[in-house]
Amino acid sequence: MRRFSQRSHLVTLSEINITPLLDLAFVLLIIFIITTPLLTQSIELHLPKGGNRDLHIKKSDVKTVEISSTGYYKFEARKAELPVIISALVRDFRADPNLVVYIRADKECRYELVAQLLDGCQKYGISRYSLRTEPASQ
C-alpha cells in the first residue's frame, strides 16, 4: 500500500482574492467624489449685474482671477499675489495664444485692483479678458 505524504494535501493558492481590494477602491472613489467639490471653492463674490454669456470659448482656454472686496487675489482657486498671477498668466499665454482671462471682481472692490491686473495683462500682450458679471434679470 502506498502512503501519501502530507505535502500532497497542501494546496497552494495561486489566485489573489481581489474582492477586498475592489471594496477599498470603491470606498476611496466615493470619498474623492464627495470631497472634490469642497476643494474647489472660490471666494464669496457679489458680482455686478449685466452682461451676456460667452458662447464660443473652450474651457481649456480660460484662466480665472478673482478679486475679493477686501483686496486679495485668487488665481485658479488659490490665493496669490498680483506679480505671481501675472507671471503665471504670461506663461499660460505663451503656451496657449487663445488664452482668455476671466476677471471676477467683487462689486465692492477698489477699481484700482482691477486696473492693476488689466495693466499687467496688457503689458505682456494678453488682450483677451472678460470682466465677469451676474446675468441681467429679464
pLDDT at 31 over 80: yes
Kindly state whether residues 73 and 101 are assigned to the same domain: yes
pLDDT at 2 over 60: no
Would 46 be classed as within a structural domain? Answer: no
Kindly state whether residues 114 and 65 are assigned to the same domain: yes
Instruction: Quote the DSSP letter at residue 124.
Output: T
pLDDT digits (tens, 9 = 90+) for 124-136: 888 888 888 777 6
* pLDDT score recorded for residue 20: 87
Q: What's the whole-number average pLDDT of the chain?
A: 80
**Residue-range definition of the domain harbouring residue 33:** 6-39
Would 136 be classed as within a structural domain? Answer: no
Work out whether the CA dihedral 52, 58, 59, 60 comes out positive or negative. negative
CA separation for the pair 116, 104 (Å, rounded): 14
Q: How many folded domains does the chain comprise?
A: 2
> How much is the pTM?
0.60
Kindly state whether residues 35 and 93 are assigned to the same domain: no
Kindly state whether residues 31 and 73 are assigned to the same domain: no
Kindly state whether residues 66 and 106 are assigned to the same domain: yes
Would 97 be classed as within a structural domain? Answer: yes
* pLDDT score recorded for residue 23: 92
* pLDDT score recorded for residue 41: 59
Kindly state whether residues 31 and 71 are assigned to the same domain: no
Kindly state whether residues 114 and 64 are assigned to the same domain: yes
Q: Which residue pairs, CB below 8 angstroms and at least 24 apart, start in 120-123? A: 120/82, 120/83, 120/85, 120/86, 120/89, 121/86, 121/89, 123/86
The mean per-residue pLDDT over the stretch 27-37 comes to 86
Work out whether the CA dihedral 37, 128, 98, 88 comes out positive or negative. negative
Would 50 be classed as within a structural domain? Answer: no
* CATH number of the domain to which 106 belongs: 3.30.420.270
23 vs 58, higher pLDDT? 23
Instruction: Quote the DSSP letter at residue 6.
Output: G
Task: For residue 117, give every residue at least 6 positions away whose Cβ sits within 8 Å of its Cβ, in sequence order, or none.
Answer: 65, 67, 73, 82, 85, 86, 103
Kindly state whether residues 69 and 123 are assigned to the same domain: yes
pLDDT digits (tens, 9 = 90+) for 59-117: 888 898 998 888 889 988 788 899 999 999 999 999 988 888 998 888 888 889 999 99
